[in-house]
Amino acid sequence: MTDQIPVIYVISDALGETAEFVSRAAAAQFNGIKTKIRRVPYVLDETHIDDILEEAVEEQAILVYTLVLTNLRLYIERRAKEKNLITIDILSPLISALADKTGLDPKNIPNVTHRLDEQYFRKVEAVEFAVKYDDGKDPRGLLYADVVLIGVSRTSKTPLSMYLAHKGIKAANIPLVPEVTPPRELYEVPRNKVFGLILGPEKLNQIRSERLKTLGLGASADYANLNRIMEELDYAKQIMKKIGCVIIDTTNKAVEETASVILQKVTINGELRKDG
Distance CA 147, CA 144 (A): 9
151 annotated ligand binder: yes
H helices within 166-225, ranges in order?
201-214
Is 64 within any annotated ligand binding site? no
Q: Is 218 annotated as a binding residue?
A: no
Is 155 within any annotated ligand binding site?
yes
Q: Which long-range CB contacts under 8 A does 253-262 form with residues at least 24 apart? A: 255/156, 255/159, 255/160, 255/163, 256/163, 258/156, 258/160, 258/197, 259/160, 259/163, 259/164, 259/167, 262/147, 262/160, 262/164, 262/169, 262/195
Tell whether residue 152 is among the known ligand binding residues.
yes
DSSP annotation of 136? G
The whole-angstrom separation of Cα 262 and Cα 128 is 20
- Cα–Cα distance measured from residue 62 to residue 44, given in angstroms and rounded to the nearest whole number: 19
Ligand-binding site membership of 260 (annotated):
no
Q: Which of 113, 80, 116 is nearest to 95 (CA)?
A: 113
Lay out the sheet containing 36-40: strands in order across. Answer: 36-40, 7-12, 62-66, 87-89
Annotated binding site for ADP: 151-158
Annotated binding site: 151-158
